[in-house]
Amino acid sequence: MATYGANDLRVGVKIIINGDPYTVVESDFVKPGKGQAFTRCRVRNLKTGRTIEQTFKSTETAEAADVEDRDMEYLYTDGSAWTFMDSASFEQLEANEAAMGDAVKWLKGNEKCIVTLWNGVPLQVTTPNFAELKITQTDPGVRGDTATGGTKPATLETGAVVKVPLYMEEGEILKIDTRTGEYVSRVKA
Amino acid sequence: MNLTALHERARLYQQVRVFFAGRQVLEVETPALSQAGNTDPFIDSFSVNTGNTLRWLHTSPEYPMKRLLAAGSGDIYQLCKVWRKDESGRHHNPEFTMLEWYRLGFTYPQLMQEVAELLLALIPHLQQPPRFCTYRELFLETLGIDPHLAGEAELANCAHEHGVNIDSSMSAQGWRDLLLTHCVESAFPADRLTFIYHYPAAQSALAKREYSNGQAVAQRFEVYLGALELGNGYQEQTDAAQNRQILEQDAAARGHDVPVDERFLAALESGLPECAGVAIGIDRVLMCRMQVNDIKQVIAFPWEVA
């Protein structure tokens, strides 16, 4: 079993706490001059995304989490599993709904994603920062209104609903920032 | 490399030397590389292979300075580099600068006053007078717990109630250190020196002890600015047998990985005058003076690039 000493718990290191995989997002060495030293960390749960504080005695170790990020291409879904292919080895893996999270909103096929694997099983899927998707349904636009800054909901080809400017029409393609889920611009067809 | 920090450091050293010259405290130098090491349970020394034998880089100049005191030096101070293994972080560099001084005939409250006078001179934006609190008062005030009476389980519960996640078993002192660093220090006022005194007797190290509220406590103090620990002082234990007992106990607890400083103990047997002493982390004082929060900002070439 691979372990990290408390002094090696630097930002980005992945460890197991209470059976779950975590990544260290902040780490600080604290020690009263004449007393016990601690490594005080902020760690993010890779399954839930929740961040907590966790402290380790300087003499302790933490179990390393077998977590790796792999470049994979999204292929297709059957509605309950999402299939990805390793771009180098052509190995295929299935991610479940929990691992997909918000990624389902932005994928239609052939996107290059980062799939985070824990013990070889997809844990998290990170989509490209931007997606270009077609509007399948939205209320009729207000022609020429490019100035007022109002928005309306639009349903995209992946089923995601985003806020778009009033002048956008069905059939148009738009660019979305997948990190925030916000409209960026209209894409010229 | 921060040019302002170089200039501020030079000015600070000048001020320190003027301060002590005005008080007839003699500047001294003692060896950095010694045949004995520090036996303190929570401080690790670097060893250096000198050919036939190992020597240890000092973690503070305490032992040889006390040898000078015993030899009749009178009041002395030293500004020097010291080394502590595995201490690295925003507030720690394994190689750092220490200011240590000893005052004959001083009580530790008198020395606290002198420390405050020096720090107020070195950190010009400090306007407020310092506050002086016992270890017990601070724990009662911040956590509602008496650190001398609470046992391991009670201290552990207190830490968990205050949102500290840690899956370790520790001694009562380990839990006190955890509560101090995670909960108590963070409540200190940012713009004022805080002096903590009357540490638990188990943390006396080479300080004398006294009774307070029926509780044995150490005549030891620490000084902070905000949550940043700046220094540690003692009413020095002058009893040779007590000193020997502590060093031998600590050496045994750490598995005799460093030799006990017999020359230091011999000097104590010849007689250490009554005195109070303190060590201040000068890099941290410089951080306070420049109002920066990473020790790397005040060191020309920090550990990673040394």
For residue A150, pLDDT over 90 is answered with: no
For residue A123, give the amino acid letter: L
Task: Give Cα separations from A96 to A80, A133, B38 (angstroms).
Answer: 7, 23, 56
So what's the pLDDT on residue A188? 78
Does the beta carbon of B283 lie under 8 angstroms from any beta carbon of chain A?
no
The C-alpha atoms of residue B122 and residue B125 are separated, in whole angstroms, by: 9
The C-alpha atoms of residue B303 and residue B306 are separated, in whole angstroms, by: 5
Beta-strand relationship, B131-134 and B193-200: parallel
More confident position, B205 or B193: B193
Q: Which of residues 207-236 of B touch A (CB under 8 A)?
A: 222, 229, 232
Does the beta carbon of B273 lie under 8 angstroms from any beta carbon of chain A?
no
- Residue B205 banded pLDDT, cuts 50, 70, 90: confident
The C-alpha atoms of residue B73 and residue B296 are separated, in whole angstroms, by: 35
Would you call A7 and B42 a contact, using CB atoms and an 8 Å cutoff?
no
For residue A145, pLDDT over 60 is answered with: no
Quick one: average pLDDT of B120-127? 94
Quick one: average pLDDT of A95-105? 91
Q: Which residues in chain B have Cβ-Cβ distances shorter than 8 Å to A18?
A: 167
For B89, which of A18, A28, A57 is closest by C-beta distance? A28
Please say whether the beta carbons of B34 and B261 come within 8 A: yes
The DSSP line for B243-280 is: HHHHHHHHHHHTTS-S---HHHHHHHHHHPPSEEEEEE
- Residue A87 banded pLDDT, cuts 50, 70, 90: confident
The C-alpha atoms of residue A64 and residue A52 are separated, in whole angstroms, by: 18
For residue B214, give the amino acid letter: G
Quick one: average pLDDT of B31-53? 94
Per-residue pLDDT reduced to its tens digit, B48-84:
999 989 999 999 999 999 999 999 999 999 999 999 9
* Prediction pTM value: 0.83
For residue B116, pLDDT over 80 is answered with: yes
**Side-chain half-sphere CA neighbours of B72 within 13 A:** 0
Query: In terms of Cα–Cα distance, which of A103, A99, A96 is closest to A80?
Result: A96
The C-alpha atoms of residue B181 and residue B170 are separated, in whole angstroms, by: 15
Average pLDDT, chain B: 96
Gap from B242 CA to chain A (nearest CA, Å): 18
Gap from B252 CA to chain A (nearest CA, Å): 18
Interface of A with B (CB under 8 A): 7, 17-18, 28-38, 40, 52-58, 60
Instruction: Please list the residues that pair with A173 across neighbouring strands.
Output: A134, A187
The C-alpha atoms of residue B257 and residue A20 are separated, in whole angstroms, by: 37
So what's the pLDDT on residue A82? 96
Quick one: average pLDDT of B124-142? 95
Residue whose token pair is 């636009």: A141
For residue A145, give the amino acid letter: D
Query: In terms of Cα–Cα distance, which of B185, B145, B183 is closest to B164?
Result: B183
Q: Which residues in chain A have Cβ-Cβ distances shorter than 8 Å to B203?
A: 34-35
So what's the pLDDT on residue A146? 61
Gap from A35 CA to chain B (nearest CA, Å): 6
Quick one: average pLDDT of A142-148? 62
Q: Which residues in chain A have Cβ-Cβ distances shorter than 8 Å to B179?
A: none
Please say whether the beta carbons of A27 and A39 come within 8 A: yes
The three-class DSSP label of residue A42 is: strand
Beta-strand relationship, B76-83 and B26-27: parallel
Per-residue pLDDT reduced to its tens digit, A48-67:
889 999 999 988 999 999 99
The pLDDT > 90 percentage for chain B reads: 95
Q: Which residues in chain B have Cβ-Cβ distances shorter than 8 Å to A57?
A: 166, 168, 170, 174
Q: Which residues in chain A have Cβ-Cβ distances shorter than 8 Å to B229?
A: 32-33
The C-alpha atoms of residue B59 and residue B205 are separated, in whole angstroms, by: 14
Count of C-beta atoms within a 10 Å radius of residue A9? 22
Does the beta carbon of B203 lie under 8 angstroms from any beta carbon of chain A?
yes
Q: Which residues in chain A have Cβ-Cβ distances shorter than 8 Å to B164?
A: 53, 55
Would you call A36 and B174 a contact, using CB atoms and an 8 Å cutoff?
yes
Interface probe, candidates B38, B40, B87, B171, chain A, greatest A C-beta count within 10 A:
B87
So what's the pLDDT on residue A142? 65
Torsion of CA B88, B93, B95, B97, to 10 degrees: -140
Burial B28-39 (b: 16+ CB within 10 A, else e): bebebebebbbb
Contacts of A48 (CB under 8 A, 6+ apart): A20
The C-alpha atoms of residue A50 and residue A57 are separated, in whole angstroms, by: 23
So what's the pLDDT on residue A144? 62
For B167, nearest residue in chain A (alpha carbons): A56
Count of C-beta atoms within a 10 Å radius of residue B190? 8
For B87, which of A17, A31, A40 is closest by C-beta distance? A31
The C-alpha atoms of residue B6 and residue A46 are separated, in whole angstroms, by: 43
The pLDDT > 90 percentage for chain A reads: 71
So what's the pLDDT on residue B213? 86
Per-residue pLDDT reduced to its tens digit, A1-32:
789 999 899 998 999 999 999 999 999 999 98
Please say whether the beta carbons of B131 and B194 come within 8 A: yes
Would you call B222 and A32 a contact, using CB atoms and an 8 Å cutoff?
yes
The three-class DSSP label of residue B10 is: helix
Q: Which residues in chain B have Cβ-Cβ distances shorter than 8 Å to A31?
A: 42, 87, 92, 181
C-alpha torsion sign, points B176, B181, B187, B189: positive
State ipTM.
Answer: 0.89
- Residue A34 banded pLDDT, cuts 50, 70, 90: confident
Residue whose token pair is 């305490």: B62
The C-alpha atoms of residue B137 and residue B74 are separated, in whole angstroms, by: 35
Gap from B52 CA to chain A (nearest CA, Å): 31
- Distance between first and last Cα of chain A: 54
Does the beta carbon of B164 lie under 8 angstroms from any beta carbon of chain A?
yes
Would you call A29 and B168 a contact, using CB atoms and an 8 Å cutoff?
no
Quick one: average pLDDT of A37-47? 93
Would you call A29 and B42 a contact, using CB atoms and an 8 Å cutoff?
no
Per-residue pLDDT reduced to its tens digit, A111-127:
999 999 999 999 999 99
Would you call A38 and B205 a contact, using CB atoms and an 8 Å cutoff?
no
Per-residue pLDDT reduced to its tens digit, B140-190:
999 999 999 999 999 999 999 999 999 888 999 999 999 999 999 999 999
So what's the pLDDT on residue A148? 63
Would you call A35 and B203 a contact, using CB atoms and an 8 Å cutoff?
yes
Gap from A28 CA to chain B (nearest CA, Å): 6
Dig out the tokens for A20 from the structure.
């779950």
Task: Give Cα separations from B90 to A178, B148, B249, B260, B294 (angstroms).
Answer: 34, 30, 32, 31, 5
Would you call A55 and B178 a contact, using CB atoms and an 8 Å cutoff?
yes
Residue whose token pair is 């905000």: B226
Task: Give Cα separations from B89 to B63, B174, B296 (angstroms).
Answer: 27, 20, 9
